[in-house]
Amino acid sequence: MVFKPAKNHGEQPEIISENPPMAELEAAVAAKLAISHGLDASGIDVTAMEDEICLTGTVFSEGEVDRAVEVALSVPHVYKVSVDLTVISRTLH
C-alpha cells in the first residue's frame, strides 16, 4: 500500500459537473431507443461526442438499424448519428 498525502487539507472537493451534458444526451437517446416500437435496443450502446451520437452493437435487421438512426435523430440536440451496428440473426431456443 502506498501512502499519499491529502491534497485538499480538510476542504471538500469541488464538483464541477456531476452529470456532464454528453452523459445526459447519451441517457436521453438510450431511453428513447429503449421504448421505441419496431426496435430491440438491448444490444445497442450509445456514445455522445459533441452533437453526434455513435450507435454501436447488434440489432436483428436492417430495418432496426434505420429505426435506431431515426429515433436518435429525434432527440433534441442530436444532429448527426454514426452507426456501427452489426445485424445478427435471432436464435430460437
pLDDT digits (tens, 9 = 90+) for 23-65: 899 999 999 999 999 899 999 999 998 778 999 999 999 999 9
Domain boundaries, the chain: 21-87
pTM for this one? Answer: 0.74
Q: What is the pLDDT of residues 70-80, one digit of tens each?
A: 999 999 989 99
User: How far is Cα 15 from Cα 73, in angstroms, rounded to an integer?
Assistant: 31
Task: Give the three cell numbers for residue 37.
Answer: 416500437
Burial class (CB in 10 A: 0-12, 13-18, 19+), 66: middle
For the structural domain made of 21-87, what CATH number should be given?
A: 3.30.1340.30
| List of residues 6+ apart from 53 with CB closer than 8 A | 25, 26, 29, 46, 47, 72, 75, 78, 80, 81, 82
Asked if the model's pLDDT at residue 19 lies above 60, the reply is no
